[in-house]
A and B are shown apart, each in its own frame.
Chain A
Amino acid sequence: MSLKVLVIDDDEIFVFLHNLLVQENGISSGPIGFENGKTAFDYLNAHDNPIDHYLILLDINMPEMNAWQFLDSIQDKPYANRVLVVIVTSSVDQEDYEKAKEYSQIIRYIEKPLDHNACRQIRSMPVIEPYITS
C-alpha cells in the first residue's frame, strides 16, 4: 500500500510550501503539485493504479476546476474511494466550511497557512497513519 500525495493549488508558492511541509513531516517523500483541479483530474485518470491510495491537499478557489467541481468529477471514478482529501484554503467563509461536509472524502478542513502542527495532526490521523512507513 502506497500513499501518493497530490498538492492542488493555483498559487505556485503554496504548492512549493505544501510540498515542503509534506516532505518535512514524513507524509510523503515525493508529493506532486497541480495548478488546478483539472490538471490533477487528468493526471488521476491517466495514471491511476488500483493499488494506489491518494491524499490530496486541495485548495477551494481555483480557475478551470475548483475544489467542488473536482470532487463532483471524481465521484464515479474507480479511485473515488481511494481518495482522502484535506481542504487547505485561504477562505474563512462559513459557507465553504458547510459545503465541505457534503463530501465523504474530506477528512479535514484547514485554513491557510498550513504548518508543521497541522501536518503532524494529519499524519497521526487513523486513516493516514497506516500508510506512513518511517
Chain B
Amino acid sequence: MEAIKILILEHDPYDIDLLKRELTRGELNYESVVADNKQDFVHELKNFRPDIVLSDYSLPSFDGFTAFKITKELAPETPFIIVSGTVGDMNAVDLIKMGVTDYALKEKIYQAPPKILRALKEAKERAAKKLIKQELIDSEERYRDLFHLSPIPMWVYDPQTFVFLKVNEAAIRHYGYSQEEFLNLTIRDIRPSEDITMLEEDVNESKRTKNYFQKVYRHIKKNQEIIYVNIESNVVHFDGKEVRLVLATDITERTKHIQAIEEQNKKLQEIAWMQSHVVRAPLARLMGLINCIKEHPDTNQQLLNHVLSSAEELDKIVRGIVSKTDNVKIDQKNELESFSDR
C-alpha cells in the first residue's frame, strides 16, 4: 500500500515528535509535512495534497477551526482530525457536528492511528459512493440527451389516457407545438378524425401484447399539414407507470416520391401496352397488305387505299405516343417543382 500522506498543523516540536512516534508505533506507513501557520498550511494543502489532516486546535498565529474551514474549501473530501491538548478547547461534539471528521486528545495520542485509519476508510467509501452516484447521474444525462437531442421526433405517452407525457425537441420542431401545448394534447389530437378508431384499436392491442410496435400513420401538424409517419414504439417505465416510448419518422416525401414513381410507371406501362397492341395492329395490316399486293401484281385500287389508310392510322398512333411521353416528362417536372416548394 502506498504511504499515507499526512499534513500536520502543529507548532510545538515536542508534540510533533510525540505524534510521529505514535504514528510509527501504530505501524502506519506514512509520509508527512508539518505547517505551523496559515500560509504554509494552505501551500501544503495545495501542493502536498494530503490524504488526511491532523491539526492542533490552537496555535500562536492560527487555529484549527479556521484550518478546517480552509480544508473544507480547498479539499472537501480530505478527512480532518483535531488533535488537541485539552478537552476544554472546544466541545468535541460541536466540532463533529460542524463536519470535523474526528477528535483526538494529546494525552490519549495512542488513539490517533486507529482514528486515522478509520477516517481514511470512511473517506474512501464516501468517494466510491460519490463516484457511483456521479456515474448514475452521467448515464441519466446521456439517456436524457439521447431522447431530447435525437434528430427524430420522439415522445412518451400514457396508453391509458393517451396523454403526451414527454416530447423531445425534434417533435416540438417538427409538429410546431410548444412543449406546453404538447403536454396538454393526447395522441388522438395529432391524427385525422377518421383514423382515430384505428389508433384506439392499435393502442389497446399494444397494451395487451406489450411488444415492439410498428405501423405507418397519418399525422396532422399544428399548421394542419398532413404527414405520413412511420411509428415505432416500445413499452418503457416512466414515473412508475407502464408507458410507451415512440419514435416517429416522417416518410411523407418518401411516400410522395413512391407515388410519383408509381404514377409514372403506370403511364410508361400504358405506352408499352400501346406499342405491343395498338401500334402493331396497323403495322401488321400494312405488312399483310403488302404481302398480298406482291402476290397479286394486278392489284386493285382498293388494296392500295387500305395501305394508305393503315399508314395514316399508324402515323396518328405514333403522334399519340409522343404526346403521352411528353406528358410523363411534364408530370415529372411538376413533381420536382412541387417538391422544391416544400
Beta-carbon nearest neighbor of B296 in chain A: A20
Q: Tell me which residues across on chain A come within 8 A of B292, comparing CB atoms.
A: 17, 20
The answer to whether A91 and B285 touch across the interface, beta carbons within 8 angstroms, is no
A-B contact count (CB 8 A): 49
Chain B contact residue count (CB 8 A cutoff): 16
A46 at the interface (CB under 8 A from B): no
Bound Cα distance A92, B279 (Å)? 10
The answer to whether A90 and B289 touch across the interface, beta carbons within 8 angstroms, is no
A11 at the interface (CB under 8 A from B): yes
Beta-carbon nearest neighbor of A95 in chain B: B276
A120 at the interface (CB under 8 A from B): no
The answer to whether A11 and B306 touch across the interface, beta carbons within 8 angstroms, is no
Q: Tell me which residues across on chain A come within 8 A of B291, comparing CB atoms.
A: 17, 113, 115-116
Q: Tell me which residues across on chain B come within 8 A of A92, comparing CB atoms.
A: 276, 280
The answer to whether B288 and A113 touch across the interface, beta carbons within 8 angstroms, is yes
Determine how close the nearest CB of chain A comes to the CB of B127; give it in whole angstroms.
79
Q: Provided the pairs A14-B285, A14-B288, A114-B288 are in contact, do residues A91 and B306 lie with their beta carbons within 8 angstroms?
A: no
Q: Which of A13, A24, A116 is B289 in contact with, Cβ under 8 Å?
A: A13
Beta-carbon nearest neighbor of B280 in chain A: A90
B208 at the interface (CB under 8 A from A): no
B284 at the interface (CB under 8 A from A): yes
Beta-carbon nearest neighbor of A61 in chain B: B277
The answer to whether A17 and B277 touch across the interface, beta carbons within 8 angstroms, is no
Bound Cα distance A105, B243 (Å)? 66
Contact code string A94-117 (vs B, CB < 8 Å = 1, else 0):
000000000000000001111110
The answer to whether B280 and A112 touch across the interface, beta carbons within 8 angstroms, is yes
Residues 114-134 of A at the B interface (beta carbon under 8 Å): 114-116
Q: Provided the pairs A14-B288, A61-B277, A113-B288 are in contact, do residues A90 and B310 lie with their beta carbons within 8 angstroms?
A: no
Q: Tell me which residues across on chain A come within 8 A of B280, comparing CB atoms.
A: 90-92, 111-112
Determine how close the nearest CB of chain B comes to the CB of A103; give it in whole angstroms.
20
Determine how close the nearest CB of chain B comes to the CB of A77; give it in whole angstroms.
29
The answer to whether A90 and B284 touch across the interface, beta carbons within 8 angstroms, is yes
Give the secondary structure class of B's interface. helix
Q: Tell me which residues across on chain A come within 8 A of B273, comparing CB atoms.
A: 93
Q: Which of A20, A61, A113, A114: most chain B Cβ within 10 A?
A: A113
Bound Cα distance A20, B291 (Å)? 11
Q: Tell me which residues across on chain B come within 8 A of A20, comparing CB atoms.
A: 292
The answer to whether B281 and A17 touch across the interface, beta carbons within 8 angstroms, is no
The answer to whether B276 and A13 touch across the interface, beta carbons within 8 angstroms, is no
The answer to whether B277 and A91 touch across the interface, beta carbons within 8 angstroms, is yes
Bound Cα distance A93, B278 (Å)? 11
B283 at the interface (CB under 8 A from A): yes
Bound Cα distance A11, B277 (Å)? 13
Q: Tell me which residues across on chain A come within 8 A of B283, comparing CB atoms.
A: 90
Contact code string A13-53 (vs B, CB < 8 Å = 1, else 0):
11001001000100000000000000000000000000000
The answer to whether B277 and A112 touch across the interface, beta carbons within 8 angstroms, is no
Bound Cα distance A111, B291 (Å)? 15
Q: Tell me which residues across on chain B come within 8 A of A13, comparing CB atoms.
A: 285, 288-289, 306, 310
Q: Tell me which residues across on chain A come within 8 A of B284, comparing CB atoms.
A: 90, 111-113
B196 at the interface (CB under 8 A from A): no
Residues 285-342 of B at the A interface (beta carbon under 8 Å): 285, 287-289, 291-292, 295, 306, 310
Bound Cα distance A66, B289 (Å)? 24
Beta-carbon nearest neighbor of A93 in chain B: B276
Q: Tell me which residues across on chain A come within 8 A of B281, comparing CB atoms.
A: 11, 90, 112
Q: Provided the pairs A13-B306, A17-B292 are in contact, do residues A113 and B277 lie with their beta carbons within 8 angstroms?
A: no
Binding site for B on A (CB under 8 A): 11, 13-14, 17, 20, 24, 61, 90-93, 111-116
14 A-B contacts (beta carbon < 8 Å): A13-B288, A13-B289, A13-B310, A17-B285, A20-B292, A24-B295, A90-B284, A90-B285, A91-B277, A92-B276, A92-B280, A93-B276, A111-B284, A113-B287
Query: 9 shortest A-B CB distances, which residue pairs?
Result: A112-B284, A113-B288, A90-B280, A90-B284, A113-B287, A90-B281, A17-B288, A93-B276, A113-B284
